[in-house]
Amino acid sequence: MSPHVTGRRRIHRCVAAAAPLAVLAALATAGPATAGTASRTAHVTRTATLGDIPLGAFSNSLLPGTVDDDRGVDLGGIGSDIYPAGREGEFWTVTDRGPNGQIKVDGAKRRTFPVPGFDPAIVRIRVSGKTVKVLGAIPLTTSSGKPVTGLSNQAGRDEAPYSYDARTPLSYNPNGLDTEGLVRADEGTFWLVDEYGPSLVHVSARGKVLTRYVPAGLHLTGADYPVVEALPAVLLHRKTNRGFEGLAQLPGGDLVMAVQSPLSLPDTAAGEGSRTARLLRFSPKRKAVTAEYAYRFDPVGVVDPGEDDTSELKISSVVAVGGDRLLVEERTDRAARLQAVRLGRASDILGSRWDDDATTPSLEQLADPAAAGVPVLPKRLVVDLGEVAGVPGKIEGVARVDHTTLALVNDNDFGMTDGAGAFDAQGRLVDSGVETTLTYVRLPRNW
């Protein structure tokens, strides 16, 4: 018997008797410096953990009947990003596409969706003592009010979706979103980024998709919301499951999107071995990309000592810190470093030959882009989070609380692991034990 069975029965009785927001509140009652210099003066000041909330109860309180079996999975994955909600200790967070994993069948990996009815959601939380409490949630829906789901969009481009045991194929869904970055606009709408397209998604204050901006030439058909091909076609070369991951909102309202990994340009091998990723600037007023920047990762062994696989490098968060300045989080699953960059006009490569997929060598193939004349963004290390005691792994969300304080949140992958052992013989989750944790980190005053 699951150790959470008693709690689950009590929670399900609450779901039957309460309105969605009241339910969610009740459910969450559980709960230039060198690396060495920056990290010695940075320290954790507070941590809080999200309690166990059955995923079915969470989902069905928002959109009744969407999840008939959560397979013992609790709410998680809300650490895909974090954004201040305007009150002390309160934040907006966002889930990704939901519980998913990989299982090898006949030597090939298959992408599993154990709870295919799960709908990505924007979740408002409050830090209360050592507990993260859910105050409310907004499901993402199509123009006609249907759940977008987190399922793969296009056969031949996205991973084929399968059931929890990787045996039964599931249907593709052009509405599906693998949401990651999140910001809230002044008028109350939200902007999100998605890994599938990759895409930039504008949603209403109630979660309805208003417009999904995708790369030119994607040809996504059948979606139940407006789809506009307004992003550079070169983004069609995004690595599978490595589309947009970070999103920041500059003081003037412009958005900055980060591609999680180098593009697979001209091929997979080039992307796997590259250390050059791309950031794009988007104007909501003009509804267009207005600039593009080349961002250069540090060597993987510098970011994560002991790691030698360059393809493990990722950008998971970008945070506006005033003017055209950003913090960029470059990480592996075990380590992360925050770099300060400034988006100058001289660094803009939009519309250059580096956006032409016929250019040889490609931007991603250059061993030293700066030496080849590419205006790579200059950066300065602010903090090596891998050297700050108390910071969990797989940090995907970073928010600025004040000048010297950051709020970090990890992605716990809904307690899932890869492989056939992720679920027991009855099809119930074998929980990894990794919790969703929000961590406050104090930076040096002069960072």
Number of domains comprising the chain: 1
447 in any annotated domain: no
- Does 424 fall in a domain? yes
On whether residue 285 sits in a domain, the answer given is: yes
Contacts of residue 10, defined as CB under 8 A and 6 or more positions apart, other chains included, come to none
Could you tell me if residue 264 is inside a domain?
yes
Torsion angle defined by CA atoms of residues 330, 333, 335 and 336, in that order, rounded to the nearest 10 degrees: 20
404: left (phi over 0), alpha (psi -120 to 50) or beta: alpha
In a domain, 200, yes or no: yes
Torsion of the alpha carbons at 45, 47, 48 and 52, rounded to the nearest 10: 180
Cβ–Cβ < 8 Å for 392, 409: no
Strand order in the sheet with 276-283: 244-249, 255-259, 276-283, 288-296
Structural contact between residues 271 and 296, judged by C-beta atoms closer than 8 angstroms: no
Is there a domain that residue 115 lies in? yes
What local confidence, expressed as pLDDT, does residue 290 receive? 98
The domain of 365 spans 5-442
Which pLDDT does position 28 carry in this prediction? 46
pLDDT at 40: 59
88 domain-assigned:
yes
**What does the pLDDT profile of the chain (447 residues) look like in tens digits?**
444 433 443 333 333 333 444 444 444 444 333 444 455 589 999 999 999 999 999 999 999 999 999 999 999 999 999 999 999 999 999 999 999 999 999 999 999 999 999 999 999 999 999 999 999 999 999 999 999 999 999 999 999 999 999 999 999 999 999 999 999 999 999 999 999 999 999 999 999 999 999 999 999 999 999 999 999 999 999 999 899 999 999 999 999 999 999 999 999 999 999 999 999 999 999 999 999 999 999 999 999 999 999 999 999 999 999 999 999 999 998 999 999 999 999 999 999 999 999 999 999 999 999 999 999 999 999 999 999 999 999 999 999 999 999 999 999 999 999 999 999 999 999 999 999 999 999 998 888
Q: What's the CA gap between 437 and 434, in Å, rounded?
A: 9
What is the structure's pLDDT at 329? Answer: 97
In 3D, which of 259, 96, 64, 71 has the Cα closest to residue 176?
96
Cα separation of 222 and 281, whole Å? 28
The beta strands (E) that lie in 175-283 are given as 179-184, 190-194, 199-203, 209-215, 227-231, 244-249, 255-259, 276-283
- Give the pair of three-digit tokens for residue 175: 């509405």
**What Rg, from alpha-carbon coordinates, does the chain have?**
21
Q: Dig out the tokens for 261 from the structure.
A: 């990994």
Taking residue 343's Cβ as centre, other Cβ atoms within 10 Å add up to 20
Q: What is the largest CA-CA distance in the chain?
A: 65
Residue 224 included in any domain: yes
